[in-house]
Amino acid sequence: MMKYVSCIISLVVIFCVSPVMADISASKSTIDDQVGVEVTVYNSNLGLIKDRRTISMPAGRGELRFMDVAASIMPVTVHIKSLNDTENFMVLEQNYEYDLMNSEKLLDKYVGRKIKIIDWNRYQDRKDTVEATLLSNNQGQIYRINNEIYLGHPGIKVLPEIPENLIAKPTLTWLYEHQSKKPLDLQVSYLTNNINWKADYIMVVNADDTASDLSGWVTIDNRSGAMYKNAVLKLIAGEIHRAEAPRVEQLYEMDRAKMAAAPQFAEQQFFEYHIYDLQRKTTIKDKQTKQISLFEAAGVNIEKEFLVYGVSSYFTRRYRQQNPKQPVEVFVTFKNAESNNLGMPLPGGTIRVYKEDTGGSQQFVGEDRVDHTPKDEEVRLKIGEAFDIVAERHQEDFRQITTKRFETEWEVVLRNHKDEAVTVGIVEPLYGNWNILRSSHPYKKVDAFTIRFDVKVPKDGEVKVTYRVEVGL
């Protein structure tokens, strides 16, 4: 009895649904329908796409195939809405079609069916066409031709048509209800992976290393699988949290034929981030790296520092080193403030530093990466190591007072072979509870566990800094 009832229900469903399904019309929308696109790029390999199109569709229930979307789309983030007719348009079902066609998949769809094979007969100088039934496409083709089995066959395979369930590019498909015949203004938004941006900066310092010109560039890398034509571009700087954060340079096109006279991006605070809005439209091609000028600033005051760093473990053991020389690191610092001809929040990126040589040619002198930097904060760049300034460290005495307390005496020798006097900072990260017992030069307490000596070393001169310290728990 239950089987009988089930059969009746199944037949009712078939007879009720089939006429409706048969009446469904299919519409296609390509990038040609696009009237606008907005691209918001995050510096975490993520993009938000808002694709607006005007589409004419039959009234009633139908299927809309929305083509030319990003291949790296995140389907669960897709949202569609009508901007001009919200009452008469409703989405019933949404699908993402990504079974893209290729030669193997096409042949797979024709297993058990007849195809044509065209081969060049070089002996008779003509084309021969044979009809074959494709029996298998598993690690090579197997054909039945004239009741014989062929394991492969030379020539060009010709198919009568493309199967409907294969598509050439990723496509969104909606089953919809539309109670009006007027064209719809639809906006489709979605997140996509594989589109990223970063900031790159060029700093050119003056002859005496006291000022510089700083320019910022936005670099956009689009590998999302779609082109965004005449797009409204927005960039988000900041660290957004994602449940999953997948991580992914080639020749790039640069939008900098001319140096921008005015900033091309308008910057503003946005939630806990900063948004940079390009004040013109731009086209972002797939598999393209594009650079756009962010800002130009002249006369940025900078300071150059020479620093020698110690290590906290020096103070609890006997210091034996075959080569007592230590690197003298070179830093450049500047204030990101309006008073210093800056003041825009700087997105994290790499600053590359250049300087003109005596012949007037700019040479690369170093680079460093900076984090997102708000206005009125200091930027500090490690540029390299000094060639003409030498530092040597010697442990003059070591005494273990208890199992947890140590007393050491140090000598740091600084030699300057430059043509002018320099100031070198000696930064010592001390261990635990510490006490400077004596020192040859004044020092400054930087924090709870760090002291710093700033020592002026004359041209072609040498200075010895000595101090004795007790450390321990």
Average the pLDDT over 201-209 and give the result. Answer: 95
Rounded to whole angstroms, the Cα distance separating 349 from 292 reads: 14
Residue 21 pLDDT exceeds 50: no
- The CB density around residue 376, as the number of other CB atoms within 10 Å, is 14
Average the pLDDT over 77-103 and give the result. Answer: 83
pLDDT at 165: 61
42-51, 172-181, 262-271, 342-351: the lowest-pLDDT one: 262-271
Residue 192 pLDDT exceeds 90: yes
Q: How confident is the model at residue 101 (pLDDT cuts 50, 70, 90)?
A: low
Q: What is the mean pLDDT of the chain?
A: 86
Average the pLDDT over 44-64 and give the result. Answer: 92
Reported as a single tens digit per residue, the pLDDT across 382-399 is 999 999 999 999 999 999
Rounded to whole angstroms, the Cα distance separating 64 from 186 reads: 11
Residue 2 pLDDT exceeds 60: no
Residue with tokens 């050119």: 204
Q: How confident is the model at residue 12 (pLDDT cuts 50, 70, 90)?
A: very low
Reported as a single tens digit per residue, the pLDDT across 122-159 is 777 888 889 999 999 988 899 999 999 999 888 889 98
Rounded to whole angstroms, the Cα distance separating 107 from 113 reads: 10
Q: How confident is the model at residue 166 (pLDDT cuts 50, 70, 90)?
A: low
Higher pLDDT, 420 or 109: 420
Reported as a single tens digit per residue, the pLDDT across 311-347 is 988 888 887 766 789 999 999 999 999 999 999 999 9
Residue 167 pLDDT exceeds 70: no
pLDDT at 178: 87
Determine contact, residues 288/252, Cβ cutoff 8 Å: yes
The residue type found at 318 is R
Q: Tell me the domain boundaries of the chain.
A: 23-100+167-192, 103-158, 303-472
Residue 94 pLDDT exceeds 70: yes
CATH of domain 23-100+167-192: 2.60.40
pLDDT at 266: 87
Residue 98 pLDDT exceeds 60: yes
Reported as a single tens digit per residue, the pLDDT across 361-374 is 999 999 999 999 99
Higher pLDDT, 241 or 227: 227
Determine contact, residues 123/159, Cβ cutoff 8 Å: no
| C-alpha torsion angle, residues 286, 289, 292, 298 (rounded to 10) | 170
Average the pLDDT over 441-467 and give the result. Answer: 96
Q: If we measure between CA atoms, which residue out of 55, 328, 337, 331 comes closest to residue 176?
A: 55
User: Which burial class, exposed, middle or buried, applies to 180 when counting CB atoms under 10 A from its CB (0-12, 13-18, 19+)?
Assistant: middle
The residue type found at 242 is R
Determine contact, residues 419/301, Cβ cutoff 8 Å: no
Helix, strand, coil abundance in the chain, percent, nearest 5? 10, 55, 35
Residue 287 pLDDT exceeds 50: yes
What percent of the chain stands above pLDDT 70? 88
Rounded to whole angstroms, the Cα distance separating 227 from 32 reads: 12
Residue 45 pLDDT exceeds 80: yes
Determine contact, residues 224/48, Cβ cutoff 8 Å: no
Residue 220 pLDDT exceeds 90: yes
Determine phi and psi for 6, rounding to 5 degrees: -60, -40
The residue type found at 425 is G
Residue 279 pLDDT exceeds 50: yes
Determine contact, residues 315/406, Cβ cutoff 8 Å: yes
Residue 9 pLDDT exceeds 60: no
Average the pLDDT over 421-426 and give the result. Answer: 97
Q: If we measure between CA atoms, which residue out of 200, 199, 198 comes closest to residue 352?
A: 200
Query: Is residue 338 helix, strand or coil?
Result: helix
Query: Is residue 453 helix, strand or coil?
Result: strand
